[in-house]
């Protein structure tokens, strides 16, 4: 794929390109979605945004995705692999320091809300060191929390083979504001035995295509706008405030 670092050679790289780094997770996404859901979505967003920016005349490279994140709230489901906030912070810091030796600008494209604390800490430190780095969330204006209709629709759009439609069931529907304390202290399984926060029934590839377009447009606007908030997050110039996340638990 054009602009994808993993399959490029060093002489083929443009000078001082914009480098997009997808950040995801390896965590349960209910009985119907794969552990790599967040990584798949962040990678797809980064790749599509890179294609659009290249058409606009920008030099853009998509780095390999970071597939492990801070997913402690899902650790009581088998298969979840979390490196935690402290380790992720260190990884992002060293990753950006290395990239900065040849990249012109670095944007971390985040697909998992559990990564936010690490991103805020690491990007603040890195910008203090003089690195040109920021992060952008994969968001839509109205999305449910985790493994619900939003993520299920997007996966149906990206690769329907990854979705086990026979296992789609409604999850916990309690508002996230009422679940935060228990999620923080007891984890997702305490509030949702299936691991779903939301309702994936009714998800369609058509809905997913529209949601994916909204995500990509938002990340592209943020990159082109170049305005950064105190958390190191690129602001969306089309919105007055930081938008509601695709997944309040997962994407922020």
DSSP of 137-189, one letter per residue? E---SS--SBSSHHHHHHHHHHHGGG--GGG----B-S-HHHHHHHHHHH-GG
Q: Which helix (H) or strand (E) holds 18?
A: strand 18-23
Average per-residue pLDDT for the chain: 93
Q: Rounded mean pLDDT of 151-179?
A: 94
The Cα–Cα gap between 237 and 215 comes to 14
| Mean predicted confidence (pLDDT) in 214-242 | 90
Q: Residue 12 above 70 pLDDT?
A: yes
pLDDT confidence of 238, banded at 50, 70, 90? confident
How many residues does the structure list for the chain? 252
Residue 248, pLDDT score: 37
Q: 18-23 and 60-62: which strand pairing?
A: parallel
3-state secondary structure of 107: strand
| 121 alpha carbon, distance to own chain's centre | 17
- pLDDT of residue 231 exceeding 50, the answer is yes
Task: Provide the pLDDT for residue 17.
Answer: 97
Dist CA 242 CA 56 (whole Å): 26
Nearest Cα residue to 188 out of 172, 169, 164: 172
pLDDT > 70: percent of the chain? 94
Q: Residue 31: beta bridge partners? A: 29
Residue 170's pLDDT is 95
Alpha-carbon gap, residue 165 to 38, rounded angstroms = 18
Give the pLDDT of residue 183: 87
The tally of CA atoms less than 13 A away on the side-chain side of residue 203 is: 32
Confidence of residue 3 (pLDDT cuts 50, 70, 90): low
Q: Which residue has the tokens 């083929």?
A: 12
């Amino acid at each position: 794929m054009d602009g994808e670092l993993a399959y490029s050679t060093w002489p083929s790289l443009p000078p001082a390109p914009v480098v997009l780094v997808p950040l995801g997770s390896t965590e349960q996404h209910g009985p119907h979605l794969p552990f790599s859901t967040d990584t798949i979505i962040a990678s797809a967003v980064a790749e599509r945004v890179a294609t659009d920016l290249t058409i606009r005349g920008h030099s853009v490279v998509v780095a390999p995705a970071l597939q492990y994140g801070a997913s402690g709230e899902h650790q009581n489901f088998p298969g979840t692999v979390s490196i935690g906030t402290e380790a992720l912070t260190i990884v992002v810091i060293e990753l950006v320091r290395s990239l900065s030796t040849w990249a012109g600008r670095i944007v971390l494209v985040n697909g998992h809300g559990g990564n936010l604390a690490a991103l805020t800490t690491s990007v603040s430190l890195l910008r203090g060191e003089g690195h040109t780095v920021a992060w952008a969330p994969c968001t839509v204006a109205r999305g449910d929390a985790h493994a619900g209709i939003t993520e299920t629709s997007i996966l149906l759009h990206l690769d329907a083979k990854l979705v086990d439609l026979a296992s789609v069931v409604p999850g916990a529907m309690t508002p996230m504001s009422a679940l935060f304390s228990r999620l923080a202290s007891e984890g997702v399984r305490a509030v949702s035995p299936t691991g779903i926060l939301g309702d994936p029934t009714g998800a369609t590839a058509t809905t997913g295509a529209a949601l994916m377009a909204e995500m990509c447009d938002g990340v592209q606007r943020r990159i082109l706008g170049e305005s950064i908030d105190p958390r190191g997050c690129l602001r969306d110039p089309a919105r007055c405030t930081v938008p509601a996340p695709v997944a309040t638990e997962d994407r922020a």
